[in-house]
Structure 1
């Protein structure tokens, strides 16, 4: 019988190497972008300035492809300035 080893996946490394096979949590965004707290993610959502997320019941989730597109968009805006 084989046992599977569960490892904690760093969302920053996962997005660099390819898209993760799960939706991201607000905590993942805090880690990825070195934000001060989850409240920053919720403030971005209220102000509609962060990556678009969606609700699954009471939980907020982010599609990794959408987050990557948002990052690329922010980079393009910064390059244009």
Structure 2
């Protein structure tokens, strides 16, 4: 019996990614068609998403910090 080779990153299928992000699977396909979603690996007709790539993509979606106002706050 052979020992399985560990993957460098855990992989999610599209359903697992959908559940994780709380968005429909169709949204992920739409993001992919527009080139704005997380990177994926293709194994035949199956898409797999590395958790590390998803985490990186999520961080890139973060809104920038609000700019500090030049006006003093009024209380």
Whether TM-score is above 0.5 comes out as yes
Structure (1 or 2) with the greater strand fraction:
2
How many residues are matched? 58
Distance 1:32 1:50 in 2: 14
| Corresponding residue to 2:40 among 39, 45, 53 | 53
**TM-score (structure 1 length as normaliser):** 0.64
**TM-score (structure 2 length as normaliser):** 0.68
Find the structure with the greater CA-based Rg.
2
Structure (1 or 2) with the greater helix fraction:
1
Residue in structure 2 matched with residue 62 of structure 1 by the alignment: 49
| Corresponding residue to 1:24 among 12, 37, 41 | 12
Gaps of 5+ in 1: 1-20
